[in-house]
């Protein structure tokens, strides 16, 4: 089965740029979605199909996908961005999630 690998944690200084990676075999050939989840809340879609932002998501959130790595980039990180982030793809009619990355804003 297809696997997605994310770092357990990423730290970023307030106002700096955070990058969260999602590794998978030839993931560049798939559509990658990213979700933000704060404690006690349902996930929120922040990027769909690699680099598209849903309505209401700040421009500070961007995404890219190539080769074996997809990346979620959060510019000018804010305290409110502190959350768990999950990548997700479809493989053989099955939705696959990465293990999640905890973003800490210092």
Q: In terms of DSSP bridges, do strands 18-23 and 33-37 run parallel, antiparallel, or are they unpaired?
A: unpaired
SS3 17: coil
**Residue 95 binds another protein, judged by CB under 8 A:** yes
To the nearest whole angstrom, how small is the minimum distance from the Cβ of residue 13 to another protein?
26
Per CB under 8 A, which region of 17-25, 48-56, 58-66, 67-75 contacts another protein?
Answer: 48-56
Query: Binding residue for another protein (CB under 8 A) from 21, 44, 69, 73?
Result: 44
To the nearest whole angstrom, how small is the minimum distance from the Cβ of residue 61 to another protein?
13
Q: What angle do CA 97, 5, 79 make, to 5 degrees?
A: 80
Task: Quote the CA–CA distance of 23 and 39 in Å, as a whole number.
Answer: 24
Q: Please check whether residue 24 is in contact with residue 68, taking contact to mean a CB–CB distance below 8 angstroms.
A: yes
Query: Binding residue for another protein (CB under 8 A) from 13, 49, 66, 78?
Result: 49
**Interacting residues toward another protein by CB under 8 A:** 31, 33, 35, 37, 42-45, 47-49, 52, 54, 86, 88, 90, 93-100
């Amino acid at each position: 089965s297809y696997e997605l690998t994310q770092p357990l944690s990423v730290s970023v200084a307030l106002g700096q740029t955070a990058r969260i990676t999602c590794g998978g075999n030839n993931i560049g050939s798939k559509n990658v979605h990213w979700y933000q989840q704060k404690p006690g809340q349902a996930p929120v879609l922040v990027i769909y199909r690699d680099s598209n932002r849903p309505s209401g998501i700040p421009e500070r959130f961007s995404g890219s996908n190539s080769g074996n790595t997809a990346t979620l980039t959060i510019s000018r990180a804010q305290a409110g961005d502190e959350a768990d982030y999950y990548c997700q793809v479809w493989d053989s009619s099955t939705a696959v999630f990465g293990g999640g990355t905890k973003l800490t804003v210092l």
